Amino acid sequence: MPLRVRLTLWYGTALAVILIVFGSALYAVLARGFRDQVDRSLEETAAVAVRALEQHRVGPFLPFDDLAAEFPELAVLDKSFQIFSPAGKVTIQSPNLGRLDIPLSRTALETALSGRATFESARFRDGSSFRLLSAPIILDGALVNIIQVGTSLRPVEEMLQRLLLVLLVSLPAALAAALGGGWFLAGRALRPVESITLAARRIAAGDLTQRLTVAHSPDEIGRLSATFNDMIARLEASFRQVRQFSADASHELRTPLTVMKGETELALRRARPAEDYKLVLESNLEEIDRMVRIVDELLFLSRADLGEVRIESLPVRLDALVEDMQRQAAVLGQEQDVQVAVGAVASVTVQGDELRLRELLLNLVDNAVKYSRPGGKVELTLVRDGTTARLSVTDQGIGITAEAQTHIFDRFYRADEARAHAPKGTGLGLSICKWIVEAHHGRIEVQSTVGQGSKFTVALPIMS
Amino acid sequence: MRILVVEDEVKVASFIRRALEEESYAVDVCGDGAKGLDLAQAGCYDLIVLDLMLPGMPGLEVLKALRKEQIAAPVLILTARSELDQKVKGLDAGADDYLTKPFAIEELLARARALLRRGSGEAGGVLQVDDLALNPATREVTRSGKRIELTAKEYALLEYLMRNAGRVLTRPMIAEHVWDHDFDTFTNVIDVYVNYLRNKIDRGQARKLIQTVRGSGYTLKAE
């Protein structure tokens, strides 16, 4: 069922319930009020009559005219009354009763005998209903008469009937009007939703450059479309990243393939000395190693992205790791005539995965050596800075331009200078470093001056 | 025929150079876009093989700059991206052909031959002057149907002469198109090679095709 219909129905049902409850309560309260009013006025009338009769010590038999002459206030009353003897016989009857014969009920008589008044409702054959109050008149402790005051309930009933009619006509009309209004308002409120749906459909069809054009109002729809646009923008950015990433990955894999294919085909074009074939095979082996490295690193990163790489959370002595690394790094450095030294090393323990941290450090030192010039120096330091361990690898190598510094942690990014200096890099090492550091809740930063060298600093929280 | 290869991947550039040199082309290699543009502007190349992803200056920019300066040498672009977009952009920017990496060496050579043929105006693939014929694809040279064996250098020299049949070619022009850049001072080497060619092509023939233009250089034409 469309939201518009549902909203209208919900709204209509709620309103109908409210109107019915309200109408019934109004009717009940008014009906009760009218009846109470009738009863009160009967009581007042009876009280006046009883008082008058008691004062005048009226006997059991008295014609109404005499009575009326004696008590003029009785004549002006809009009520009928009858006076019964203690035996229940009518003695006096007001003329406005006409031909109606209202006997004293048994209950009323018995209650009167015990000295109390009784309210009764009576309905006659002609359909008129009466409200009756029978009150005892007691002289010197003995019941002398019973006075019955009555009034017709017709005006009250007519009033209530009119009220019921008004309610029965006006409530459905109000409900219908409200439903119409609700339908219109729901449609109006939902119109932007419809336009969002259309835009979303276009976007879903693959056009991520689409944006919602709903006005930027601060209401719910405005917020929804702003949120939606933000989401699409982020999606577009991540799609672009993925596309860039796979383009870069395929480029990086195509290069070694191009070399292998080209060199092999060239070698096979004619017979050559064995030495030439050996060179081609050696070169191909290099390219295969490069591809293996790229594929391994890509696999690691994609597993890391999927959260499938497990990171241990054990105490790791960073100082021991640094000293350990120096021995490995010295060998790396010797090949390129780069001296690897260890500066200040504070004793710090962090929580993490020793294997990954070792990989991180090895990557950084390997980079530092790779981008150093012969005779250069690479220095490792580890200092404690409050609750943070700062591990730095400083080199005196070719340096990184400010523009490149913003990209070096991006996958496959390699500055032109880096490509020229170390053609065998994969462009993934620093992405992996960054991932390892972040998996340890740390940060990695670089400071560098072109031609003077770079300093990579890893900040990790010290285990408390 | 002199070819400029602008490619930053050292190994790729290296095997392209070796393959082209085996086909007797003179080859210059450059690994940077901006430097490649300088070279292309300075030298007169018969073909430029241009990678699109280059340091210094992107290949597409190099290509546009070349065409803007009316350098009409055919350009073969190399791209690692097989995306249509790249090829269309490259061709629209003035490239004559493209190859997607990884490519077959024979295809590169065949496309190079096709592009060089386009430059010389000959259509059938076989260069013909009088009864002298040269097939760049098979590197077969015949005169009156009789096969002539040539060394790589002799072949390169003959191909250049035949592609420019009827034109007077100076020694510096020949040096430029047939020999490597580091050549230049030993111009008498050209005379030596022209003599070798004459021995193999014109000796014993009634019509001499290779002629000396006194004070200028050489020309190859049917009389």
- pLDDT tens digits along A216-262: 677 777 888 888 888 888 888 888 888 878 877 887 888 899 999 99
Mean confidence (pLDDT) of chain A? 85
Residues 408-437 of A with CB under 8 A from B: 416, 419-420, 423
Question: What pLDDT is stored for residue A418 in this prediction?
Answer: 81
**Number of Cβ atoms within 10 Å of the Cβ of A425:** 18
Contacts of A410 (CB under 8 A, 6+ apart): A431
CB contact under 8 A, A269 and B31: no
Partner residue opposite B18 with nearest CB, options A257, A259, A266: A266
Task: Please compute the mean of the pLDDT values over residues A116-123 and round it to a whole number.
Answer: 83
Categorize the per-residue pLDDT at B181 as very low, low, confident or very high, splitting at 50, 70 and 90: low
**Number of Cβ atoms within 10 Å of the Cβ of B102:** 18
Between A43 and A73, the more confident residue is A43
Task: Please compute the mean of the pLDDT values over residues A198-217 and round it to a whole number.
Answer: 76
Q: Identify all chain A residues contacting B101, using CB atoms and an 8 Å cutoff.
A: 254-255, 257-258
Tokens encoding B177: 């198109």
Residue A227 DSSP label: H
Query: Is it the case that residue A73 has pLDDT exceeding 70?
Result: no
Q: What are phi and psi of A300, to 5 degrees?
A: -60, -50
Give the C-alpha separation, B191 to B173, whole Å: 13
CA distance B202 to chain A (A): 30
Mutate: best of B32, B105, B106, B107, partner A, most A CBs <10 A: B105
Query: Is it the case that residue A105 has pLDDT exceeding 60?
Result: yes
The reported pTM is 0.60
Give the C-alpha separation, A75 to A95, whole Å: 10
Q: What pLDDT, in 10s, does the model give residues A137-183?
A: 877 777 777 888 888 888 888 888 999 999 999 999 999 998 999 89
Question: What pLDDT is stored for residue B83 in this prediction?
Answer: 65
Give the C-alpha separation, A356 to A244, whole Å: 27
Percent of chain B with pLDDT over 70: 92
Categorize the per-residue pLDDT at A186 as very low, low, confident or very high, splitting at 50, 70 and 90: confident
Categorize the per-residue pLDDT at A432 as very low, low, confident or very high, splitting at 50, 70 and 90: very high
Give the C-alpha separation, B36 to A287, whole Å: 26
CB distance from B101 to chain A under 8 Å?
yes
Q: Are B59 and B77 in contact (CB under 8 A)?
A: yes
Question: What pLDDT is stored for residue A64 in this prediction?
Answer: 58
CA distance A250 to chain B (A): 8
Task: Please compute the mean of the pLDDT values over residues A262-278 and round it to a whole number.
Answer: 93
Q: What pLDDT, in 10s, does the model give residues B131-147?
A: 888 888 788 899 988 89
Q: How many CB pairs under 8 A join A and B?
A: 63
Q: Are B15 and B58 in contact (CB under 8 A)?
A: no
Q: Identify all chain A residues contacting B27, using CB atoms and an 8 Å cutoff.
A: none
Q: Identify all chain B residues contacting A265, using CB atoms and an 8 Å cutoff.
A: 104-106
Categorize the per-residue pLDDT at A58 as very low, low, confident or very high, splitting at 50, 70 and 90: low
Give the C-alpha separation, B22 to B43, whole Å: 21
**DSSP per residue, B79-96:** ES---HHHHHHHHHTT-S
Longest dimension (CA), chain B: 57
CA distance B59 to chain A (A): 14
